[in-house]
Amino acid sequence: MKRKIAILGATGSIGTQTLDVIAQHPDCFEVYALTARHQVDLLIRQARTFLPEVVVIANEQKYLQLKEALKDLPIKVWAGEDAICQVAQLAPVDIVLTAMVGYSGLKPTIAAIEAGKIIALANKETLVVAGDLITRLALENKAPVLPVDSEHSAIFQCLTGENSPIEKIILTASGGPFRKYRKEDLLHVTKNDALKHPNWSMGAKITIDSSSMMNKGFEMIEACWLFDVSPEQVQVLVHPQSIIHSMVQFRDSSVKAQLGLPDMRLPIQYALSYPDRLESSFPRLSFSDFNSLTFEAPDMEKFPHLSLAYQAMKQGGNMPCILNAANEIVVDAFLKDRINFLQMSRVIEQTMQQAEFIAQADYEIYVQTDQEARAIAQEIIGIKIFDK
């Protein structure tokens, strides 16, 4: 039986690599649905190659172009945000791979969980924003949430066969392009500097998040929800070679690690084929090419994003949602040259101080919090009070 896959966010970096994996295993997987936000040309090419049952373009203005381009094929063409949620619930779909960017992944992920699908989770913001809600719904609906993020896939692989509680997770980080910069140098870095990631090739949002280390902060939060640990049990460790993808320490002092070359296709494939491992033609790790693996503590003073993420997770409630909303606004503002690199964390910090803290949140509260925090962050940027 082939597993039928719906890819939400098919035209992004994770989406296209997922299609690579599926193309290498046509006897195991079948593309059932593809969705994209704007990139209609690529979506058309993907649909013509993989012949899914359904394609969805979130941007309704591109619907006619998509419909016209696929009119010779028996593919259903839908448009709009609600159609993405509908696709995630279609009866024949076995696995929903969520690779949308940021907060936009929350609603379709909830829809897929409510339909009891296997979730291959690449959209970490979903767990950052509403981790308690997502984990509770996943349990209630018996929907397994399998990590696609390389670090969490590593932790998940280390936990296979283990029944004992985790003592500590050691979450590795490349350190990003500014690892060796002094704090004062960060004042002058540009978006082009930030978009040069040393090891991983990814979309713009996550690359900026990696340069500020917010990505690692989000991954710490993601790890807390996926593996039921506290923020105090997650240690971020800078490992510039990105060969050890993360580690788990157990109560007898044993440490397990998962290693490999930095290639997202491996964690994608593992999530799709779990609990089996499939053959792959991915390049193999040669230890003689990496004869020194190095480790250092992250510089929280230079990268305040990371300590803001710890602070948000320790506070709990809707605070991680506020953190995420403010971060989406500052990343967008940085990419549009409205603020500089160091101002990003100051805007987030002030948004966390100003937005209303709610200890017990439900879906409606998360939606409200997201809107409110975005408005506050926009206002702070607009009147430039972050340099006071």
Answer for the pair 214, 309: CB distance below 8 angstroms, yes or no.
yes
Least separation, in Å, of the C-beta of 245 and Mg ion? Answer: 8
- Report the C-alpha gap between 279 and 25 in whole angstroms: 9
Answer for the pair 187, 341: CB distance below 8 angstroms, yes or no.
yes
How many residues line the site for Mg ion (CB under 5 A)?
3
Q: Which residue is nearest to Mg ion (CB)?
A: 149
Smaller CB distance to Mg ion: residue 150 or 345? Answer: 150
Answer for the pair 33, 93: CB distance below 8 angstroms, yes or no.
yes
Smaller CB distance to Mg ion: residue 52 or 175? Answer: 175
Q: Residue 244: helix, strand or coil by DSSP?
A: strand
Q: How many CA atoms lie within 13 A of 297 on its CB side?
A: 5
Binders in 7-26 for Mg ion, by CB under 5 A:
none
Supply 66's token pair.
Answer: 């998509």
Least separation, in Å, of the C-beta of 297 and Mg ion? Answer: 19
Smaller CB distance to Mg ion: residue 200 or 357? Answer: 200
Least separation, in Å, of the C-beta of 216 and Mg ion? Answer: 8
Q: Whose CA is closest to 152, among 222, 94, 92, 205? A: 222
Stretch 228-247: interaction string toward Mg ion, x if CB under 5 A: --------------------
Answer for the pair 198, 205: CB distance below 8 angstroms, yes or no.
no
Least separation, in Å, of the C-beta of 149 and Mg ion? Answer: 4
- Report the C-alpha gap between 93 and 31 in whole angstroms: 9
Smaller CB distance to Mg ion: residue 13 or 249? Answer: 13
Least separation, in Å, of the C-beta of 141 and Mg ion? Answer: 26
Smaller CB distance to Mg ion: residue 111 or 171? Answer: 171
Answer for the pair 296, 302: CB distance below 8 angstroms, yes or no.
no
Binders in 367-386 for Mg ion, by CB under 5 A:
none
Smaller CB distance to Mg ion: residue 262 or 317? Answer: 262
Is the link from the previous residue into 275 a cis peptide, with omega within 30 of 0?
yes
- Report the C-alpha gap between 215 and 190 in whole angstroms: 18
Smaller CB distance to Mg ion: residue 39 or 150? Answer: 150
Answer for the pair 151, 238: CB distance below 8 angstroms, yes or no.
no
Secondary structure of 321-358 in HEC code, one letter for each residue: HHHHHHHHHHHHHHHCCCCCHHHHHHHHHHHHHHCCCC
Binders in 107-166 for Mg ion, by CB under 5 A:
149-151
Least separation, in Å, of the C-beta of 88 and Mg ion? Answer: 23
Least separation, in Å, of the C-beta of 310 and Mg ion? Answer: 17
- Report the C-alpha gap between 355 and 319 in whole angstroms: 9
Smaller CB distance to Mg ion: residue 177 or 317? Answer: 177
Q: Residue 149: helix, strand or coil by DSSP?
A: coil
Least separation, in Å, of the C-beta of 151 and Mg ion? Answer: 5
Smaller CB distance to Mg ion: residue 117 or 197? Answer: 197
Least separation, in Å, of the C-beta of 246 and Mg ion? Answer: 9
Greatest Cα pair distance in the chain: 62
> Residues interacting with Mg ion, by CB under 5 A?
149-151
